[in-house]
Amino acid sequence: MSPNMLYLLVLLPAFSLSEVTTFTKCPQFFSEGIHPTVLQDTMDKNRYTQICQCLLDQNERPQYFYATLYDTKNKIPVYSAYEFRRASVDRVDRWYVEPQLDGSNLMCMASQGNIPSPNRGQRQALNSDYEGSDYDKGHLFPVYHTHNADTMLATSTLTNAAPQDPSFNRGQWKKHEEDMATLVQQNCNWAYIVTGVVPGNQVIGNNVRVARYYWSAYCCFGDSRAPQSAGYIGPDNNGRVQQGSVMWLEDELSKHYGSVFSIFQGSC
């Protein structure tokens, strides 16, 4: 379990929300500290960026909430990983961006006004990309899986969202998120979840790739020593979420990503 931490409850627009770094700074969000596969692009070694999503506390020290692998070419995340803890939290949509991705010297995530205007949106999505698109900002780490106000706010970043069909986002995928939360709460003492997307062919705004599929997997530990796990992906041809083993999901994702892809690296 991650240690309990005191989080800053009030954010000012210029306060930072996440840090572009490597996953070595936030191994607590992965089963046994082992992160999923980091995709590679031989033509652009900086395409896939590892982000430890964080808030600054009252002493301006980073407090980490989850981890994201971000695709700066498609301008959507590949996946977000987090330790599951849930309580009833009211949602506030206050969307932030990652200034460093577009050339700002700020350490962490903030409002897009902190990015020099000529650079905004070069390597990440902006709010304006979604305007008039008829797509939702689909959270990977969903608000429903958060346990306090700070964690909820930290999920409302565009590095944790991809364009998602509204009917799927508010229908079958929402039901999946709720069902997974119920399952984990009933059967697990603690759990790790990874949620990701497979990019499709369509783009919105300034070349922000629409997600073709959403997928997720959990690894949880209860009273027995053997971990429990399952994988999910959707929508299928009927608009539903398919369920199978983690190995099954990894095989599906390996086909979609074009290279071997592992979620829990054999730790679950």
Domain boundaries, the chain: 27-257
**Beta strand ranges found along 89-247 (DSSP E):** 136-139, 161-164, 190-204, 208-221, 228-234, 242-244
pLDDT of residue 22: 82
State whether residue 138 is helix, strand or coil: strand
Distances in Å between the alpha carbon of 60 and those of 21, 23, 84, 141, 171? 17, 20, 25, 24, 39
> Which class is 27-257 in CATH?
alpha beta
Q: How confident is the model at residue 249 (pLDDT cuts 50, 70, 90)?
A: very high
Percent of the chain scored above 70 by pLDDT? 85
Between CA 49 and CA 69 the distance in angstroms is 6
Interval 217-224 mean pLDDT: 88
Query: What rounded mean pLDDT belongs to the chain?
Result: 86
Q: Name, of 95-104, 111-120, 242-251, the range with top average pLDDT.
A: 242-251
Peptide bond into 99 cis (omega under 30): no
Poorest-confidence range of 11-15, 23-27, 212-216?
A: 11-15
Q: Which residue has the tokens 């981890």?
A: 67
What are the tokens at 157? 């970043």
Does the structure show a pLDDT above 60 at 7?
no
> The pTM is what?
0.87
Contact in structure between 54 and 60 (CB atoms under 8 Å): no
pLDDT of residue 204: 98
pLDDT of residue 98: 73
Residue 213's region, left for phi above 0, alpha for psi from -120 to 50, else beta, is beta
Q: Name, of 57-66, 79-88, 191-200, the range with top average pLDDT.
A: 191-200
Q: Nearest 5°: phi and psi at 159?
A: -85, -5
pLDDT of residue 9: 33
Residue 115 vs residue 34, higher pLDDT: 34
